[in-house]
Structure 1
Amino acid sequence: MPVVGRFAVKWYSCNFINSCSNLIDHKMDNTEIEFLAEREFISIVPKFNCDKLYLISCEIGPFHVGIPVQVPLWLAINLKQRNECQIQKPAWMDVASLEALKEEEMNSELFIALPSNHFQEVSQILLNQATDDIPQADGIRTLIKDILDIRIAKLRSSVDKFVKLKATYAQLDNLTQMEINSMRNFLTTALDHLRNLDKTERLAEQFASIN
């Protein structure tokens, strides 16, 4: 299958296939994606002692004062709000790592792999709910916004080329769920219009050949 140009998203010109249709059929909203993000594990330093907890999806603990333990993000935020833990930010949430990530994203034609599939949601939740546990929080917030802005510009440019080329299949490499969701409605409408245009052109050609 030939590649149509070199864009931030690799677009291929081919027949519309079921896998692409399935990708965009379910309209997940941002709150659902944030809910999924809150299931990611993060390290905390508890201020209490407690035996192991048995949740529906996993087991966590035991908890001992001052000893780091991995818990889902939603539980970390809940404990933080009750002043029962200190949150340890992910390794990628530091200025040096994010500056390197920003530089790599700027210099790449394609999307680079982010350290988390919920990069935007996890960082926003932590920066909003646990700012005092994150050194250089303002600088981190600015770098994350810069990275997301660069990726959004790439995505918009790629979608514009996609529509102009009348392509009907997209290979989406290294996009997060939130990024895919942000373009879902537009892509659904665009694909429908392209399919209708293709049908109309084929009918016109058939009619012309008969006459």
Structure 2
Amino acid sequence: MAFPLQRGITPPEISFLAEMEMVTIVPRQRLEGLELLGGPVEPLVPPRRTTVPLWLASLLKRQRRANILPPPWLHPESLSLILDIETQHQDYQHAFSPPPPLPGQPRLRDRGRKPNARPRYTPEGQRYYPTPPFLPQNVAQDQSFDNGEPPTLPFHWLEVGTMLLDVASDDVVDPDQTRRLLKELREVRSAKIRSGVDVLDVAAVAGGGVALTGVGAMEIGEGRGFIGGVVDGLRRIGASKEQARREQLAAAANGEYDATQDYDDDMEF
């Protein structure tokens, strides 16, 4: 008998998708270019930086043919700032730190402007809007924190950080502290997801949604079962209460039930 498939995408599948994230490497030897499904890879000429998918960067790192440059958010200083935002900032006590802006979306300092996403086009001329993992959110030269903006966590922050620490820990600044900060961030954000039962209760009764802005892919995958189970359970409880209320109203309308009957019976007893 085959076991039923898990609802939604599984954590191993999320990690597999995260391997398509683009990272920056410094090749240690000359290699020819490659034609991949995601697009061509330029020839590797040391010491010129090159952007390649994470799976290819991991392979070259294991073969000692390249070094991986960690993204700016994976530095201990950046992770400490993000952890402070998650734990000490009043606006994010029950919310998550803001994600990096999408192409054409205004940054934090320009949030007063209207977003204007910039589409891209395929070789056939079809328009599309790129989303993770097809956004350069983990390349070394993508983000700069010198402009006064706080660091942000990309959509696949947990998967990319874990893979880089496993494969290229010698390329990461202070890997022990970075690993500890990633663990603390994961625990803090997981606690926020678990503490959102009140919001789930309101969403289940009112029929609204739950804001998950800033939540990563792995966090959604791990919390999908918990969130879905809580919402389904609250929806069943709400439906049973509503059905019982309708039955009482129908019985009272037919003269079969008196609202004061139970109270009188308790007094006599």
Aligned 8 A contact 1:46 1:67 in 2: yes
Give the corresponding residue for 1:38: 19
Q: Percent identity?
A: 30
Q: 1:198 aligns with which of 221, 224, 238?
A: 238
- The structure in which a higher percent of residues are helix is 1
Aligned 8 A contact 1:166 1:194 in 2: no
Q: 2:198 aligns with which of 157, 161, 178?
A: 161
Offset at residue 126 of structure 1 (A): 0.6
State the Cα deviation string for residues 184-211 of structure 1 (Å, max 9, x = none): 1122222222222222222212211221
Q: Does 1:54 align with 2:35?
A: yes
Q: Does 1:180 align with 2:217?
A: no
Aligned 8 A contact 1:53 1:61 in 2: yes
Offset at residue 142 of structure 1 (A): 1.0
State the Cα deviation string for residues 36-93 of structure 1 (Å, max 9, x = none): 1111111111122233211011111121021110000000000111111111111122
1:186–1:135 CA distance, 2 compared to 1 (3 A): closer
Amino acid at match of 2:97: I
Amino acid at match of 2:241: E
TM-score (norm 2): 0.65
Offset at residue 166 of structure 1 (A): 4.7
Q: 1:136 aligns with which of 170, 174, 186?
A: 174
3-state SS in 1 of match to 2:203: coil
Give the corresponding residue for 1:12: none
3-state SS in 1 of match to 2:45: coil
- Structure with higher Rg: it is 2
Give the corresponding residue for 1:4: none
Q: Give the number of aligned pairs.
A: 185
Q: 1:149 aligns with which of 187, 212, 220?
A: 187
TM-score (norm 1): 0.82
RMSD: 1.7
Amino acid at match of 2:50: V
3-state SS in 2 of match to 1:50: coil
Give the corresponding residue for 1:17: none
* Alpha-carbon distance in structure 1 between the residues aligned to 2:17 and 2:76: 26
* Alpha-carbon distance in structure 1 between the residues aligned to 2:198 and 2:247: 30
State the Cα deviation string for residues 156-206 of structure 1 (Å, max 9, x = none): 111x3235x453231211111111111111222222222222222222122
* Alpha-carbon distance in structure 1 between the residues aligned to 2:153 and 2:250: 57
Amino acid at match of 2:203: A
State the Cα deviation string for residues 1-44 of structure 1 (Å, max 9, x = none): xxxxxxxxxxxxxxxxxxxxxxxx95111101101111111111
Aligned 8 A contact 2:76 2:173 in 1: no
Unaligned runs of 5+ in 1: 1-24
* Alpha-carbon distance in structure 2 between the residues aligned to 1:30 and 1:97: 25
* Alpha-carbon distance in structure 2 between the residues aligned to 1:61 and 1:144: 32
